[in-house]
Structure 1
Amino acid sequence: MKFVKPIIAITADSLPKPSPVINENVAPFAPRELVEGILAAGGMPIILPFPQDPSEAEEAAQAAVALFDGVVIPGGPDIDPTLFGEEPIPQIGRTNYERDAYELALIKAAALQHKPQLGICRGIQIINVAFGGTLYQDLGTQDPDCHIQHSQKAPGQFPTHHITTTPGSQINAIVGAKQKVNSRHHQAVRTVAAAFKATATAPDGVIEAIELQQGDDILAVQWHPENMWQRDPAALALFQDLVARADQRKKA
């Protein structure tokens, strides 16, 4: 019997400006290091572009979910705060409502079919919003306890602050009790969705990982393992865990 690798989808971002190579505006893309991380973990990556008409998001998500065994919701622009009941504050960055609409629909469709998910940076935030949680639109102005640098000046592949994980949690089993991670965000989980629990925090209390209260279908982290897996076994382990979960569901 021929071995077939689990198919791991990556939701695409889009270029906000015309590409210098093919001069195509809003071309869909995924970070190369993320694609290679999935390959290194034994998965077969595919990229899912979002429809430019948000009214088509649910239909597109339903069609896409049949194509993959697991999915990564990666980093990207800020999330439209009207999706969690707030108006945008002056400090919010660029948003993309079309991507928001598609990822919300895809996260819910994948959850209904128990397709394993891994959220990265923006991914933890949109997953939390998908299930009814809220976000800090800007940590520096909205979280009085935030006192470490969450938008690092160091190169992205360098870890810059520590996280502590909850004993007995899914993330604890994957990366251990304490890790040093990279950090490129100014938004973060504020109120955790009821279906989830926070299982890793930064030294100032900022939530760094969430996972389901029941089951292991969805795990999300605030840092960027795709930039670190080449030199950090714990970062690679996050992709290996996703591929292993996807393979289990595929064979079930």
Structure 2
Amino acid sequence: MSAQPLIGITTYLADDARWGVWALPAALLPAGYHRLVQRSGGLAALLPPGDPGTAAEVVARLDGLVIAGGPDVEPVRYGADPDPRTGPPARDRDIWELALIDAALQARVPLLGICRGMQLLNVALGGTLVQHIDGHAGPAGLFARHEVKPEPGTLLGGILPEAVSVPTYHHQSVDRLGNGLLPSAHATDGTVEALELPDADHFVLSVQWHPEAGDDTRVMEALVSAAGRN
């Protein structure tokens, strides 16, 4: 039996996480991410923020990479001033994940961005973000749902051939597209809900919603399948 693909997933870095009797700095990630990788046939490895100089070495040991959701990308990364509604920066994550994205693109390692991960992929390739939109998140800590329509003939359209209802929690979105990126799904209000890199010779896909918070495994299964062929 062939080995299961090893999928790295980026994490948060919390200054004061609490569990049991402990309150300590911690690398953490909602369990939905690693469970989705496992349900989709992969092995999950968590990638907390580290030295960006090691990103290529880290990626070389992976079969696939997931850039997970999380805080807003710092606007300086795309040459903008912060909107008052933009959250505090997570500079360690920005620097680390941008290095991982670059390393994955250079090494042709299959890549999936989720929510923040989609926005960061766009920024990594020279794009910009809208710093605030309404209607794509529930109350604090609760996902909303809305319909997403994949574009026929795209990578995502082959994975999700029909419109789907997805769990969503974001207040920023793609503005100017990064170099080479193609929108491959939209919400009914026109918000870009997926990006892919059609000229790449490997799997590069990102989605604005949170598949780890739902029951549909098809997007992650596509990444794991691509990683298994890598």
Residue 40 of structure 1 aligns to which amino acid in structure 2?
Answer: R
Count of residue pairs the alignment pairs up: 228
Q: Tell me if structure 1 keeps the 8 A contact 2:60–2:107.
A: no
Residue 31 of structure 2 aligns to which amino acid in structure 1?
Answer: R
Q: 2: distance between equivalents of 1:36 and 1:152?
A: 23
Q: CA deviation at 1:164?
A: 1.2
Q: Deviations over 1:15-50 (max 9, x none)?
A: 24242433222x112221110110011100001111
Residue 102 of structure 1 aligns to which amino acid in structure 2?
Answer: W
TM-score, normalised relative to structure 1:
0.86
Q: 2: distance between equivalents of 1:69 and 1:91?
A: 37
Q: 2: distance between equivalents of 1:44 and 1:179?
A: 26
TM-score, normalised relative to structure 2:
0.94
Q: What does residue 192 of structure 1 align with? A: 177
Q: 2: distance between equivalents of 1:155 and 1:80?
A: 21
Q: What does residue 151 of structure 1 align with? A: 137
Q: Tell me if structure 2 keeps the 8 A contact 1:166–1:177.
A: no
Q: Tell me if structure 2 keeps the 8 A contact 1:209–1:221.
A: yes
Give secondary structure in 2 for the equivalent of 1:163: strand
Q: CA deviation at 1:155?
A: 7.9
Q: What does residue 144 of structure 1 align with? A: none
Q: What does residue 62 of structure 1 align with? A: 56
| C-alpha RMSD of the superposition | 1.7
Q: Tell me if structure 1 keeps the 8 A contact 2:196–2:204.
A: yes
Q: CA deviation at 1:4?
A: 1.1
Residue 170 of structure 1 aligns to which amino acid in structure 2?
Answer: L
Q: What does residue 148 of structure 2 align with? A: 163
Is structure 2 residue 113 aligned with structure 1 residue 114? no
Q: 2: distance between equivalents of 1:190 and 1:170?
A: 21
Q: What does residue 23 of structure 2 align with? A: 23
Q: What does residue 133 of structure 2 align with? A: 139
Q: 2: distance between equivalents of 1:48 and 1:214?
A: 27
Q: Tell me if structure 1 keeps the 8 A contact 2:71–2:116.
A: yes
Q: What does residue 145 of structure 1 align with? A: none
Q: How does 1:92-131 map to 2 (within 5 A)?
A: 92-131=86-125
Match 2:188 to one of 186, 194, 203: 203
Q: 1: distance between equivalents of 2:15 and 2:151?
A: 38
Q: How does 1:233-248 map to 2 (within 5 A)?
A: 235-248=216-229
Residue 101 of structure 1 aligns to which amino acid in structure 2?
Answer: I
Is structure 2 residue 223 aligned with structure 1 residue 224? no
Q: Tell me if structure 1 keeps the 8 A contact 2:203–2:223.
A: no
Q: 2: distance between equivalents of 1:154 and 1:164?
A: 26
Provide structure 2 residue ranges, at least 5 long, that are not aligned to the other structure. Answer: none
Give secondary structure in 2 for the equivalent of 1:9: strand
Q: Tell me if structure 1 keeps the 8 A contact 2:150–2:161.
A: yes
Give secondary structure in 2 for the equivalent of 1:182: strand
Is structure 2 residue 2 aligned with structure 1 residue 3? yes
Give secondary structure in 1 for the equivalent of 2:97: helix
Give secondary structure in 1 for the equivalent of 2:4: coil
> More strand by proportion, 1 or 2?
2
Give secondary structure in 2 for the equivalent of 1:15: strand
Q: 2: distance between equivalents of 1:174 and 1:101?
A: 31
Q: What does residue 72 of structure 1 align with? A: 66
Q: CA deviation at 1:156?
A: 4.9
Q: Tell me if structure 1 keeps the 8 A contact 2:71–2:89.
A: yes
Percent of aligned pairs with the same residue?
Answer: 35
Q: 1: distance between equivalents of 2:159 and 2:141?
A: 24
Q: Which runs of 4+ in 1 moved over 4 A?
A: 154-157
Residue 199 of structure 1 aligns to which amino acid in structure 2?
Answer: S
Q: Tell me if structure 1 keeps the 8 A contact 2:136–2:169.
A: yes
Q: 2: distance between equivalents of 1:245 and 1:73?
A: 16
Residue 79 of structure 1 aligns to which amino acid in structure 2?
Answer: V
